[in-house]
Amino acid sequence: MRACQRVARVSVVAVVGLGYVGLPLATRAAEVGHTVIGLDSDETKLSALGLGCSHVEDVSDERLAAVMREGRFRLVLATPTQGDPARYDYGFNGFDIGIITVPTPLEDGKPDLSYVEGAARTLGRRLRPGGVVVLESTSYPGTTEGLVADVLLEESGLQPEVDYHLGFSPERIDPGNEQHDFETTPKLVSGTDAAALAAVESFYAGLVKETVPVSSPTVAECAKLFENIFRQVNVALVNEMATLAHDLDIDFWQVLDAAASKPYGFMKFTPGPGVGGHCIPVDPGYFTWFAQRRLGRSSRFIELAQEVNEGMPGYVVERAEEMLGRSGLLGAQVLVLGVSYKKGTADQRKSPGRSIVDLLLDAGALVTVTDPYARNWTATTSLDASEAAGRAADFDLVILATDHDEFDFEAIGRSARLVLDCRRRMPANESVHTL
Ligand SMILES: NC(=O)c1ccc[n+]([C@@H]2O[C@H](COP(=O)([O-])OP(=O)(O)OC[C@H]3O[C@@H](n4cnc5c(N)ncnc54)[C@H](O)[C@@H]3O)[C@@H](O)[C@H]2O)c1
C-alpha cells in the first residue's frame, strides 16, 4: 500500500453516471478543486441535482450546493434527445480524466454491459491524446482492456498505452456507512501499463486517504468481485446456520457472540432477511457467468450462497405464518418495518424487505409498511416512522426487516403483540422472536 500524495494539478473530470457511486466521487473531485462535468441520462435526476437536491445519503444537499455555487460542478444530460435544450448544456468539449460509474446489472443471469458501452461511447467521442479513462463500474475480469478499450478506439481512433491512459478502480462505497466513507476507504487503482497506473493513482491520491495500486485492471476487477463474493458466501453461511439452529432449538445469536470472541480466524456476519442492493445479489453473477463462459465450469459455492440468500424472504414469511399459529397470514394485519435493502439508505433495489411484502400479500396478509426513507411508497398502506411505536399494538404481527435507526425499537418491542425481529434490535422474549 502507498500513502497518498496530493495532486496539485487541477483537471477537467467527466463522471458518467451520477448515482450512488458517481455522485459522491464527482462531489469529492469538485471539492478538491477539479472542474467536474457530471453526465447522466436521467433528466429527472439531473433536474433535482441542479436544484441542489442530492438523492444519495452520503452527499448532503449542502455539500452539493456548495460545489455548484462555486461553479466547479456542471451537469450535462448524456442523451439530449428528449431534453429541454434551454435547461441543459448538452455539450462538453473534452476532459482530462473520464470516469465511468454506470449500472452493470444482470439480464437473465448474463452481464448487461450496455450502460458501460454507452458511457464509453460518450467519453470516446471527447477523448484526446494524453487523457485518462477509468472504469469504476463492477464487471468481470477483462472488461476494461476488452470492451472499454475497443469502444474508445472505435469512437476516438486512440489506443491505450500509445495515446491515452486506461485503468480500472473499483468503488467500495457502502451507502449510509458513517465509519468508512469515500475518503477513508482505501481505493484500489490499476492501469494497463506503468504510466496509466501512475496517472490513475495520482488522480485518486488527491481524493482519498490511501490508494492501493495493483498490477493490472484484471486483478482490480477480480478483487472487486471477490470482495462481494466473500460477503455473499459468508452471509449465506450465517443465514443457513441461523435457520438450522432455530429448528434445533439453539439460540444462534448467543452462539454467534460466543464465536466472535475468538480474536483470530473468525469474522462475524449476522443473519438477516436476505441480501439486496446493486452489489451483493448481482456482482457474484458476473464471476459465475465469466467462469462458465471461459472454462465451462460452475462456481458451486457462489451459486449455493445465492440460492440460500434468495430463500431468506420466503423463510421469514414461513416463520411469520408459524408465529401466527392457527389464524395464519390470511387476513392478518402485518406491519413491516423497513423496505430499503439496508439501514440508512433509500435504495430498494433487490431489497429483501420488498420481497417479504410481496410474499405476505400473496399469502393474503393486510400489509402496512413504515420506512422513513421510502418516500412515495404506494405498494401498500404506509405509516410514518414516528407513529410506528404508537400504532404497533394495532397489528397482529410486526416484522422488522430493515433496522433504520429512526425506529424506536424499545418502544415497538414493548407495545407490539408479536414481533419477528430479523436484525436483532430488540431483546427476545415471548412476544419478540429473532430470526
Ligand atoms: N451502489 C453501491 O453501493 C455500489 C458500490 C460499489 C460499486 N457499485 C457499482 O458501481 C456501478 C454504479 O452503481 P450505482 O449504484 O451508482 O448505480 P446507480 O443506478 O445509482 O447510478 C448509475 C447512474 O448512471 C446513469 N446512467 C446509465 N447509463 C448512462 C449513460 N449511458 N450515460 C450517462 N448516465 C448513465 C443512471 O441514470 C444512474 O443515475 C455499478 O457497476 C455497481 O455495481 C455500486
Assess if residue 95 is contained within a domain: yes
Boundary-marking domain end, from 198, 215, 232: 215
Confidence (pLDDT) at 355: 97
- Which helix (H) or strand (E) is 16 found in, with range? strand 12-16
Residues 192 and 45 placed together within one structural domain of the fold: yes
* 32 and 148 belong to one structural domain: yes
Asked whether residue 1 carries a pLDDT value surpassing 60, the answer given is: no
40 domain-assigned: yes
Do 193 and 337 have their domain in common?
no
Q: Which of 196, 215, 234 is the last residue of a domain?
A: 215
Q: What is the pLDDT of residue 93?
A: 82
Q: Is 115 in the pocket of ligand 1 (CB under 6 A)?
A: yes
Q: Which residues are catalytic, by number?
A: 279
pLDDT digits (tens, 9 = 90+) for 240-255: 999 999 999 999 999 9
Is the pTM higher than 0.85? yes
Residues 59 and 178 in one domain: yes
Distance CA 205, CA 187 (A): 9
Q: What is the percentage of the chain residues whose pLDDT exceeds 90?
A: 88
Reported as a single tens digit per residue, the pLDDT across 9-24 is 779 999 999 999 999 9
| Average confidence score pLDDT of the chain | 93
What does 141-183 look like in DSSP terms, one character per residue?
TTTIIIIIHHHHHHHH---BTTTBEEEE------TT-SSS-TT
Q: Which atom of ligand 1 is nearest to the CA of 115?
A: 28
User: Cβ neighbours of residue 115 under 8 Å, at least 6 residues apart?
Assistant: 17, 102, 103, 104, 137
Q: In this structure, are 180 and 316 located in the same domain?
A: no
Q: Give the integer Cα–Cα distance in Å for 65 and 50.
A: 9
Please check whether residue 249 lies inside any domain of the structure.
Answer: no
pLDDT at 90: 54
Q: CA dist 249 to 193, 317, 319, 333, Å?
A: 57, 19, 14, 28
Evaluate whether residue 25 is within a structural domain: yes
Q: What whole-number distance in Å separates Cα of residue 253 and Cα of residue 354? A: 25
Ligand 1 pocket: which of 171, 187, 287 to mutate (most atoms within 8 A of CB): 171
Residue nearest to atom 21 of ligand 1 (CA): 19
Strand partners, 97: 13, 132
Residue 66 has pLDDT above 60, yes or no: yes
Q: Could you tell me where the beta strands, DSSP code E, fall in 127-270?
A: 132-135, 165-168, 187-189, 210-213
Domain with 378 in it: 311-434
Residue 169 in domain: yes
Q: Is residue 298 part of a domain?
A: no
Are residues 319 and 204 part of one domain?
no
pLDDT top residue among 362 and 88: 362
pLDDT in tens, 99-144: 999 999 999 999 999 999 999 999 999 999 999 999 999 999 999 9
Percent of the chain residues past pLDDT 70, beyond the cut: 95
**123 CB burial (10 A radius; 0-12, 13-18, 19+):** buried
Residues 62 and 187 in one domain: yes
Q: pLDDT for 70-102, tens place per residue? A: 999 999 988 644 444 444 445 678 999 999 999
101 CA → ligand 1 middle, Å: 5
The CATH number of the domain holding residue 56 is 3.40.50.720
pLDDT at 348 exceeding the cut of 60: yes
Mean pLDDT of 320-335: 96
Q: Is residue 359 part of a domain?
A: yes
Residue 222 lies in a domain: no
Same domain, 17 and 129: yes
Atom of ligand 1 nearest to the CA of 17: 24
Q: Among 155, 181, 215, which residue terminates a domain?
A: 215
Atom number of ligand 1 nearest to Cα 56: 20
pLDDT of 91: 66
Q: How many domains does the chain have?
A: 2
Residue 302, pLDDT above cutoff 90: yes
* Whether residue 198 sits in one domain with residue 315: no
Give nearest CA residue, ligand 1 atom 15: 20
DSSP alpha helix (H) spans, 114-148? 114-124
